[in-house]
Structure 1
């Protein structure tokens, strides 16, 4: 890996709109109020009188029957305006979690900051709107998350598409290295990519997880290009800690190996190797706690996180206080972020009892994955009707190719729907909007029962056969 070259200034990464944003003097008062002594009399910000709010208490019941009731003070904080980065105690706990989970080295660790957002999707959209314009390229994998395309394509920025690797390990890092070499040699002219966007764990839609060595190579390529890395990692805690070869001649043996695998330590993140301060990491609690709470985080250099904070000050002000307060109360109950890493027992992580919940969630989705792969092998792969890009090593998606079709949209919307099964056509994950084509479909195995998964792929097999008879 090249010698560390810390990013000294982030001004060149901001677009014109972001460079014009200034801190809100009224929003700045929220930080003062959050730490003010009890006797402070505020005649500052236009905060509504909490005595008129119709709510007097908030409590939730956990699945084990435990009732969590917010204190009067917590209820007041939840219902009132709060600092843009998040409720201070929640942010502090999240900072300890991120340091324990990722431990960014050197100067990047010293400059690390965390902000709470209304889901990672909202934070990603703010990031793209902060860094990109019509002249600034961004590197993305093709296929990639449709929500990312929905945020990028209206900006009009040039999309440098890198294909997924042929070995089922996500973005083709070799192609990114070739891109860097082309800019270095002068073979490729024009602006270098300002951002590299990647989903390193259980990619959506492919289900692929980048091996550690590929992550190291991608970081090195970002250094050569002078790019920031947008590490979108909502499925990190749905990592099964295993890799299964989809080309295994013995499909039953591959499925059995997947079922018997014991999860290992989560693959080190790109943030964990960020010596320069060029990684902006996005996490989500939607898959782990609740999608409806809309709680996500962005972690990275303070200057970049603050730039997203200025965007939030002019839009949503802050994420729902009620959602934040519920997550904070759960974290207190579970002991998440109680300790400053490394803990007294020598462990780096400070997840508390949430680690057991993470294991339960990952185990459930691993079982769902196994049932999905078994059904795909039985109804699609063995009869030669479809191919699996990779056995997912995490997450909740399988990426399936239907050979002989240039595009699966009609198959999904007409034949499959008529047969009583629904997928997402692969074109939804390819840049190009209505003109995009793909021979793939994405299947989600998160909600359907094992019996329903088997029946779904039986119906899909029937739809493929019917389409071939036309």
Structure 2
């Protein structure tokens, strides 16, 4: 398929004054005059890069698991001198700000395999994880007074990031029944901006969204609604900041608690891509208005502090300029280890196969928790509903409080707190939906709790957690 070159010359209008005025300074000297011929084999007396002989590590041996929770491993040896790959000599050294070429190449191949952008002049840069990516994106685009739209329940630290640069946060409602942003309400908000509740603000500059396995709700936006939202971004001239840390964790639909399509013999990487992985907004993008965030935290290790941003080359260049005066390159040691494991998995398709196995394990965990909750007396009495996720590691539970008639003025904050206390007394920790918004009107209406299927040690622990939670809900209802 031939993809167009983006002709959107107005992209720099989204760039903050701070980013536009940023100057790069180098101590390496001015470019050589054309009359000077550089020596073919110069000896460096410049720079501050220690020779690899000063590195105290000569070799790293990795034991790489073939699947999650599997003791069977293969061995990967990383040495100081392996010119064919990212070795210790390069990985322990100062590296390019945008990341080492080997991992950059993998990330681009992954994007081309799974989420090819709708235009040619895109690029990417590695970062120190999604938190760093968000910091750099909001630094790139926000001037004081700029409006950033966010989902009304979201990963709240991002709000501090936006406010830190003088941005204004405006919530858009999630549709818990359909999944993801309520497109109808979103369109009305944009259509009536000048006469609506936010008419005293400028029109939105960007939308921050977690469209797959959303945190905290676990919701996943449909393909059709993603296309509609992208079209709205084009019509009303705003950027989409697509945060996708959970997207590669797909969850088979719950039937009887035992079926898991990722366990079937005919399941393949091609099926995973074509039938299960949701389209990224960047696939619909022909104008360069989407910035996509990916992370190795949820599918490799959070401690790697490694992720990347995909977007138009004009944006990526300025993000790299920012990194040059702030964080510089991501950890070379993290890049070295992640790249070595990817090589051991045999590249992009091997990496995707690892993600399929992760999806299989998460599906088994989700099914076990749902089956336990559905078998409880509390569920059978209709005291709660389960919002089954299609992706990610979060499962939300909606509490059907007594005398709940969906009154818009009802304030559930005290009730969910009392329920949380019951849960703690029964020995289970949950997070309240109201804690994922800074808007009081949405905090009052939040009667859902967020649970995770990511942290438990064993099936037995998931079973026990489900029993304790359903018991806590039952005891709460008996106490009111």
Looking at structure 1, the residues matched to 238 and 29 of structure 2 have their Cα atoms a distance apart, in angstroms, of 31
> Contact 1:386/1:402 (CA < 8 Å) preserved in 2?
yes
Q: What is the 5 A alignment of 1:149-160? A: 149-160=159-170
Aligned to 2:21: 20
SS of residue in 2 equivalent to 1:317: coil
SS of residue in 2 equivalent to 1:287: coil
SS of residue in 2 equivalent to 1:55: coil
Aligned to 1:406: 412
Displacement after TM superposition at 1:155 (Å): 3.9
Aligned to 1:230: 241
> Contact 1:234/1:283 (CA < 8 Å) preserved in 2?
yes
> Contact 2:384/2:400 (CA < 8 Å) preserved in 1?
yes
Please tell me whether residue 298 in structure 1 is matched to residue 309 in structure 2.
yes
Alignment counterpart, residue 62 of structure 1, candidates 61, 64, 71 = 64
Alignment counterpart, residue 353 of structure 1, candidates 339, 350, 354 = 350
Distance 1:85 1:59, change over 3 A: same
Tell me the alpha carbon deviations over residues 350-379 of structure 1, each in whole angstroms, 9 at most, x when there is no partner. x23223212111111111111121123233
Displacement after TM superposition at 1:228 (Å): 0.7
> Contact 1:385/1:461 (CA < 8 Å) preserved in 2?
no
Displacement after TM superposition at 1:14 (Å): 2.0
- The worse-fitting range, judged by mean Cα deviation, of 354-363 and 446-455 is 446-455
Alignment counterpart, residue 375 of structure 2, candidates 361, 371, 378 = 378
Please tell me whether residue 72 in structure 1 is matched to residue 74 in structure 2.
no
> Contact 1:176/1:221 (CA < 8 Å) preserved in 2?
no
- 5+ residue gaps, structure 2: 31-37, 66-71, 82-86, 402-410
Looking at structure 2, the residues matched to 266 and 37 of structure 1 have their Cα atoms a distance apart, in angstroms, of 51
Alignment counterpart, residue 121 of structure 2, candidates 91, 102, 111 = 111
Distance 1:162 1:434, change over 3 A: closer
Alignment counterpart, residue 418 of structure 1, candidates 400, 408, 425 = 425
Distance 1:37 1:455, change over 3 A: farther
> Contact 2:11/2:288 (CA < 8 Å) preserved in 1?
no
- The worse-fitting range, judged by mean Cα deviation, of 120-129 and 77-86 is 120-129
> Contact 2:419/2:473 (CA < 8 Å) preserved in 1?
no
Aligned to 2:177: 167
SS of residue in 1 equivalent to 2:204: coil
> Contact 1:136/1:191 (CA < 8 Å) preserved in 2?
yes
> Contact 1:198/1:232 (CA < 8 Å) preserved in 2?
yes
> Contact 2:78/2:88 (CA < 8 Å) preserved in 1?
yes
Please tell me whether residue 453 in structure 1 is matched to residue 451 in structure 2.
no
Bigger CA radius of gyration: 2
- 5+ residue gaps, structure 1: 30-35, 245-253, 337-350
Please tell me whether residue 132 in structure 1 is matched to residue 138 in structure 2.
no
> Contact 1:412/1:425 (CA < 8 Å) preserved in 2?
no
Tell me the alpha carbon deviations over residues 305-346 of structure 1, each in whole angstroms, 9 at most, x when there is no partner. 12221222222211100110112222333332xxxxxxxxxx
Distance 1:353 1:166, change over 3 A: closer
Distance 1:259 1:301, change over 3 A: same
Tell me the alpha carbon deviations over residues 43-101 of structure 1, each in whole angstroms, 9 at most, x when there is no partner. 34322343333222222111242221223141011111111100012112211221222
The ranges of structure 1 where at least 4 consecutive aligned residues each deviate by more than 6 angstroms after the TM superposition are 184-188
> Contact 2:258/2:364 (CA < 8 Å) preserved in 1?
no
Looking at structure 1, the residues matched to 440 and 92 of structure 2 have their Cα atoms a distance apart, in angstroms, of 40
Displacement after TM superposition at 1:198 (Å): 1.2
Measured on the aligned residues, the alpha-carbon RMSD in Å equals: 3.1
